[in-house]
């Protein structure tokens, strides 16, 4: 589907500026406060049905471990070249050690990864199987997590670490998946930074006064309490969300409808989706949007310029299965292709 010609013309004029901003990603210093999750993918070949129960027996072939949840936002920032610090909890377990090792290999500062011996590392294990001549399919997912909040002592320790780091970073990202890291003390500490980007699944008002929120459409609908199903309700939702959160800007991501960026002046910008056809998996795409957008802002980009970079980065990762990341080189290549005649969006 073709992108509006006026937007493409604006994007074409923006291209040199976008390249310049992407080149500055490596200068950014970002603290991510988030719910740290380990995503595990166990894959094997289905051999037969078990005699013990009517279940499949899978001969294990591979195990892949990648950062998920708020940890995916951390990892996206690192692969985009930023200098990243992480604040959150992991359990005293193998999964927490695995996540720490992944981060350290990516040169992420893990000093703020505090060990909570009373709660396990949030882990989502997806078990997939395939026959000899069939595609691999997910069969079951096993989640490990605790519904209990961290102890007050741990909450205050994390908040203290956040406050200590504020003067060393250019931005703070709050990646809230509802797993207990972002309690009131942590939120209060994070909001003391002048550039705070919030990505939360619910309770947006807890972060009142943050610079920018990035809810997706279902999250925005939950926050305002009504369906966003027309241009009128979309505009109303943007206004209501700005009032609810007292944010400087509100970015609603809308899947294949692109993004809508709302300003306190009552105006808003629509950014169309850059990839509506080669979409294989949207898992973690929101984390990618937040990462690239944050780096655009720290590089000196406007909200519109930075949102376009977030949109561009997301258009790349949705082409891959599972939680994925992208790089500055891939973003530049994708932008060049988007503006080429071969892309198909110019027809």
What's the length of the chain?
A: 347
157 with 50: CB under 8 angstroms? no
The set of catalytic residues is 287
At 319, the pLDDT band (50, 70, 90 cuts) reads: low
Which pair of tokens denotes residue 260? 């809508």
Q: Kindly report which listed range (13-22, 59-68, 277-286) carries the lowest average pLDDT score.
A: 277-286
The residue whose two tokens read 């990618």 is: 288
| CB count in 10 Å sphere of residue 101 | 12
What pTM value is reported for the model?
Answer: 0.91
The predicted structure's pLDDT at residue 1: 45
At 275, the pLDDT band (50, 70, 90 cuts) reads: low
67 with 38: CB under 8 angstroms? yes
Q: Which CATH superfamily is domain 5-340 in?
A: Ribokinase (3.40.1190.20)
Mean pLDDT across the stretch 292-316?
93
Per-residue pLDDT at 243 exceeds 90 = yes
Sign of the CA dihedral with 225 first, then 231, 236, and 240 last:
positive
**So where are the chain's domains?**
5-340
Torsion of CA 315, 216, 88, 187, to 10 degrees: 140
The predicted structure's pLDDT at residue 221: 96
The predicted structure's pLDDT at residue 324: 67
Which pair of tokens denotes residue 205? 């008002």
303 with 297: CB under 8 angstroms? yes
Mean pLDDT of the chain: 91
Per-residue pLDDT at 38 exceeds 80 = yes
User: Quick one: angle between helices 70-79 and 94-105, nearest 10?
Assistant: 20
Per-position b or e across 157-192, b if 16+ CB within 10 A of its CB: bbbebbbebeeebbbbbbbbbebbbbbebbbebbbe
The predicted structure's pLDDT at residue 343: 54
């Amino acid at each position: 589907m073709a992108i509006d010609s006026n937007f493409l013309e604006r994007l074409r004029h923006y291209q040199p500026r976008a390249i310049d901003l992407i080149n500055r990603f490596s200068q950014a210093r970002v603290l991510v406060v988030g719910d740290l999750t380990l995503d595990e993918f166990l894959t094997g070949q289905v051999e037969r049905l078990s005699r013990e129960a009517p279940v499949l027996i899978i001969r294990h072939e591979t195990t892949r471990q990648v950062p998920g949840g708020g940890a995916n936002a951390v990892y996206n920032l690192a692969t985009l070249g930023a200098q990243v610090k992480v604040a959150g909890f992991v359990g005293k377990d193998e999964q927490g050690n695995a996540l720490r090792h992944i981060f350290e290999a990516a040169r992420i500062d893990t000093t703020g990864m505090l060990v909570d011996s009373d709660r396990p590392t949030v882990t989502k294990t997806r078990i997939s199987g395939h026959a000899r001549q069939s595609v691999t399919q997910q069969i079951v997912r096993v989640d490990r997590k605790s519904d209990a909040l961290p102890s007050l002592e741990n909450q205050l320790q994390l908040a203290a670490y956040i406050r200590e780091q504020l003067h060393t970073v250019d931005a703070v990202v709050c990646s809230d998946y509802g797993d207990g890291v972002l309690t009131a003390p942590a939120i209060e500490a994070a909001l003391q930074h002048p550039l705070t980007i919030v990505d939360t699944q619910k309770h947006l008002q807890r972060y009142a006064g943050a610079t920018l929120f990035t809810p997706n459409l279902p999250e925005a609908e939950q926050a305002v309490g009504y369906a966003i199903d027309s241009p009128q309700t979309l505009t109303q939702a943007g206004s209501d969300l700005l009032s609810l959160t007292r944010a400087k800007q509100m970015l609603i991501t809308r899947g294949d409808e692109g993004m809508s960026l709302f300003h306190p002046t009552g105006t808003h910008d629509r950014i169309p989706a850059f990839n509506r056809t080669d979409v294989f998996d949207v898992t973690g795409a929101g984390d990618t949007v937040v990462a690239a957008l944050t780096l655009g802002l720290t590089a000196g980009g406007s909200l519109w310029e930075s949102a376009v970079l977030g949109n561009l980065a997301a258009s790349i990762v949705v082409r891959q299965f599972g939680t994925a990341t992208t790089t500055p080189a891939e973003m530049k290549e994708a932008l060049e292709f988007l503006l080429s005649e071969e892309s198909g969006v110019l027809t």
